[in-house]
Amino acid sequence: MRESDHEPMTFAQALRSADFWLLLTGCVAALAGLSAWLIVPLLVAGLSIASLPKYLELLPRARAAGAEHEWLVAVGLSTFNSPGAAAGAVVVGWVVRWLWW
């Protein structure tokens, strides 16, 4: 986790992130010609699983602050964001495939 949420993530930090590798794998799978109907659900599941420890770490502090509802909204919005990121990774893979092949 970053020391400050106000600083942008560095490339070295991104390389240690499971989300980065999941999305990169999705791009490569789309580039290789795998179906989006297979890639997107797997990426959404992977992104949800990768995000779970981050949110479970915040739950005790949210309960202590009386912000369980806001915590639940944040988890829901992250889950809602995952299909968009997965679809974006697939589209990037398709574009790269179209440009190179």
In 3D space, the residue among 7, 93, 85 whose CA is nearest the CA of residue 51 turns out to be 85
Give 55-73 pLDDT, tens digit per residue.
999 999 999 999 999 999 9
Give 5-57 pLDDT, tens digit per residue.
678 878 888 788 889 999 999 999 999 999 999 999 999 999 999 988 989 99
Instruction: Give how far Cα 58 sits from Cα of 31, 42, 50, 51, 89, Å.
Output: 36, 25, 14, 11, 28
Show the tokens assigned to 72: 């639940």
* Confidence check: pLDDT of 3 > 70: no
Q: Considering only residues 11 and 77, tell me which one the structure prediction assigns the higher pLDDT.
A: 77
Question: Could you tell me the end-to-end alpha-carbon distance of the chain, in angstroms, rounded to an integer?
Answer: 38
Is 0.85 topped by the overall pTM?
Answer: no
Helices (H) and strands (E) in the chain, counts: 4, 0
Q: What is the pLDDT of residue 12?
A: 85
